[in-house]
Structure 1
Amino acid sequence: MADILVLNPPFLPKFSRPQRSPAVTKSGTLYFPLFLAQSVAVLEADGFSVTFLDAPAAGLSLDAVVARAVADAPFLAVLDTSTPSIDADMAAAAALTRAVPGLFTVLVGPHATARAGEVLTQAGGAVRAVARREYDLTLEELARLLASGPPTPERLATVAGLSFLGPDGQPVHNPDRPYLDALDRLPPVAPVYKKHLDIRHYFNPNAKPPMVTLATSRGCPFRCSFCLHPQTLTGRTARYRSIDAVLDEVAWCLDNFPGLRTIFFEDDTLTADKARCREFCAAIMRRGLRFDWSANARADMDADMLAAMRRAGCRHICVGFESADAMALAAMKKGLGTERMRRFRADAAQAGLKVHGCFIFGFPGDTRESILATIDFALSLNPNTAQFYPVMVYPGTEAYAEYEARGFIAAGRWRDWLTPEGLHGCVVRNEFLTPAEIVRLCDLARRRFYLRPTFLARRAAAALVSPGEMARTVRAGRVFLKHLLRGSRV
């Protein structure tokens, strides 16, 4: 028996719903359900018994999930959502509602937040509520309310951050819940991983497996128009856990996950506050914690800071370069230019930090010529690995609103955000390029980057030197190479 079911719902095998651009990835990436796990930690600390299932990671079918719910008979079910999976997410909620009498189903996550009213009305009563934005404390308050009495409209109206259907069948949106500033109030997520999940299921090509994902902050102060989580979940002001609390959790992971190779800090931008990042690195060294780690970073760090990160155990950083075109960079509100990016890349190489570079094609003003220039820019930067994607616009972001207003979204349903097999689909065009042309340019970029003899030789040499690097390379390359070789020609 369990009071609450927290579910990353079934969809496609190995569908990575928690990442900023959800898909079945070419590299085999599968993100930890970090936000769901944080909610589980909050609910369990409040005394609720929780069943936490990550169906895509564990290979659970909807029938298996429903059978577990019937056996547990929870009073509350929490389901994560994403744009491409939303129809399947609502179908999972409907199946659970039919199977468990009196179950109160609530959806969370980026898509549900951005389209709360639409989801509630389309679900036909199968979804009782949406917990918008940062939902940990909203779920805790809702669980307490349900445990103490019936979910009448009057009682539901007291829960900040909640949307629900009123007596007339129309959506009611309670005021937003303020973002939590004191993040140390939240219990650590690592014990939730240990209790409920198998860390061997999760993989990020920027981290040697086995790995775990933690966060030292929430929110991002930068204004990139396409970035999903700051605009739908975490907000555009960075809020921080204390460094001691983070490192206590790191120490717990090192003690409790035998064979752990890497910790991935999944902050929106770990390096947003440079002074704090320096102190974070200094504190790791003061405490004598020896572990490899990777993080999301921004290409505006100086050489001293990069060297400090490397000394503290950082091995790999994921950086959004995005484009070489000044017009595209302005359109996405990147706030960085190519010369700063070049200096950062040289400093990172000097510090011995590996860099995963992200590049995005298809912003307003992008042409074939500007994208070819970006591909040349990527080759000149020569990051250790790179990804090349069409711009993925999701409801709730400024980029989605702009593309929708200009008639640049070339999709008829949410499922079109993915190909039939679950890879990212291109759902945008711009003034000069069709979706098919943008996809062909992405394929060209991958082939030019990854089929270089120098790149292949470098990866082979690294894999031979390090067993962890070998495991990471084989796991990512096994899936990626298949897609790379069958890519379209431009």
Structure 2
Amino acid sequence: MKILLINPNNLLEKILGSGKIFASPDMPMGLFYIASYLQKFGYHVVFRDSYLHNDDYDVIVKKIKDEDPKIIGISCLTANGKFVFELGQIIKRKFTEKLLVLGNLHASIFSNFYLNNKAADVIVHGEGEIAFKEICDSFREGQSFSFKDIKGISYIDEENKIINNEQRKYIKNLDLLPFPYPDNINLNDYPRMKDIKLPYIKIISSRGCVNNCTFCAVHNNRNYRMRSINNVIEEIEYTKKKFNINFVSFEDALFTASKKRIIELCSKIIEKKLNIEWGCEGHINFIDEELMKIMRKAGCIGISYGIESGNQDILNSINKKTRLDDIKKKVLMSKYYFKKISGLFILGLPNETKQTIEQTIKLSLELPFTTAQFSLFTPYPGSQLYYDFIQNGVIAVDENKPEELINSWERYSSYAIFAKDAPHPIYVPENLTLNDLKKLQKKALRKFYFRLSYMLKNRPVYLDLLSFKDFPNLVKSILKLLK
């Protein structure tokens, strides 16, 4: 039985305008895992990355006609929620005999909405590998099928009623999953900064997170589980042999959560002489100089820190559990061990003022970051603040008004400064105006990247990301920052 998995296009062109050049297509690891898991059990899986190829609805419809799959699976996040909604309705009108399955966080949160509006047949909640395989098993050609015993899904039954099955538990032993490299993928399709050696891979060595930051949607999966060190090493060795990879990006939500585990992993990389370079996301509270030393010895050249704010009261309010003194100490220490240090900042968090954002900008300039992101705070569906805002009337969500709801998803944007007609962000703090936020975001980017000292010392990140065809949009983006 043939299955078509689709990584959908999104609304970044409208939301980001010329700034879309800074949002390179990323490897859809969730779909890669599902595809590999299905192939393990003999299913014929075709994968289409519509974001990578910038597919419109007509291209995807043609792909479905050409491949003629029995089941279509689509990943759905807020950035592509509207696209998936409209695509799902088209698929259900044109291909009534095919089963349409949606997964990922946004589809899960709005499962009733997608099902009620005939934009899906089945929604998978949580981790999708086992549930999707059980759906395929039930829908085999020539067999009657029933979804009533499949945990972790919602679906429309024979009486046109929505059925929400029992919740599925998280996968305990992640080592049982095959490595996420389905047939016929080309890793070189997914660009990185030009000074990162290609090809590269993304490895997820753990799932979940031990923290509970109120702005982050990962809090839905706080059940933290780790793959064994041997399993991670085997994946690195496998990809070196199969793809000749040179760089690994560890994509764990909190890679350094267990110091003992990371020391063991680094020791194995050194012992086996894997000779790779790699990067990860760390956390100020879960790293020290001993860990930095062995990470660097094992090939780590880059680390990202979610700093968020330069104001302690703001950090406390989002349950970040970091101290400004520790942030300064650990980032300054990092410069002796890592070639690249990225600072991730959020502007416009609840209770922000111009003064607190100025403190964040000041902190970014005081510390030795090689790159920095200054995102506008967005209460993404799934985060604690999203639910708080709904309860307090800050955000209105009415599933009885489909057009209004799907259009509101365009407003979940962390950058509102590059697109001329970008939708009004879904949230602006009461102490600030949208114009204030735009000016402060521009100021942060301009002050960080256009410092003479920075430009002399660091190769500007925007040049690393670009090909010749991106040059016009680069010029437009720079001009917007300089206004």
Alignment of 1:47-446 (within 5 A): 47-122=42-117, 124=118, 126-147=119-140, 155-190=146-181, 192=182, 195-205=183-193, 208-210=196-198, 211-228=200-217, 230-232=218-220, 235-258=221-244, 260-300=245-285, 301-409=287-395, 413-418=408-413, 426-446=425-445
Q: How many residues align?
A: 465
2:401 maps to none
Task: For residue 370 of structure 1, report the CA deviation from its aligned partner.
Answer: 0.7
SS of equivalent residue, structure 1 residue 212: strand
In 1, Cα distance between equivalents of 2:96 and 2:157: 21
Task: For residue 121 of structure 1, report the CA deviation from its aligned partner.
Answer: 1.3
Give CA-to-partner distance per residue, 1:379-428, whole Å, 9 cap, x none.
11131100001112111210211233344449961122246689897321
Give CA-to-partner distance per residue, 1:60-111, whole Å, 9 cap, x none.
3332222222222211110011113212102222333334351000111110
SS of equivalent residue, structure 2 residue 79: coil
In 1, Cα distance between equivalents of 2:44 and 2:441: 46
SS of equivalent residue, structure 2 residue 89: helix
2:29 maps to 34
What TM-score, normalized by structure 1, do the two folds share?
A: 0.87
SS of equivalent residue, structure 1 residue 394: coil
SS of equivalent residue, structure 1 residue 487: helix
1:429/1:404 CA distance change after superposition, 3 Å = farther
CA-atom RMSD in angstroms = 2.9
- Contact 1:27–1:205 under 8 Å retained in 2: no
- Contact 2:347–2:437 under 8 Å retained in 1: yes
- Contact 2:379–2:412 under 8 Å retained in 1: no
In 1, Cα distance between equivalents of 2:312 and 2:50: 42
- Contact 1:107–1:127 under 8 Å retained in 2: yes
Give CA-to-partner distance per residue, 1:178-202, whole Å, 9 cap, x none.
0001001100013x2xx33332232
In 1, Cα distance between equivalents of 2:423 and 2:186: 26
- Contact 1:207–1:294 under 8 Å retained in 2: no
- Contact 1:310–1:353 under 8 Å retained in 2: no
1:466 maps to none
Query: Is there any run of 5+ residues in structure 2 with no aligned partner, and where?
Result: 397-404
- Contact 2:332–2:368 under 8 Å retained in 1: no
1:281/1:421 CA distance change after superposition, 3 Å = farther
In 2, Cα distance between equivalents of 1:59 and 1:290: 35
Task: For residue 452 of structure 1, report the CA deviation from its aligned partner.
Answer: 0.3
- Contact 1:5–1:52 under 8 Å retained in 2: yes
Which residue identity does 1:272 align to in structure 2?
A: A
In 1, Cα distance between equivalents of 2:281 and 2:213: 14
In 1, Cα distance between equivalents of 2:149 and 2:140: 15
SS of equivalent residue, structure 2 residue 481: coil
What TM-score, normalized by structure 2, do the two folds share?
A: 0.88
Query: Is there any run of 5+ residues in structure 1 with no aligned partner, and where?
Result: 464-468
Which residue identity does 1:447 align to in structure 2?
A: R
Which residue identity does 2:213 align to in structure 1?
A: C
SS of equivalent residue, structure 2 residue 349: coil
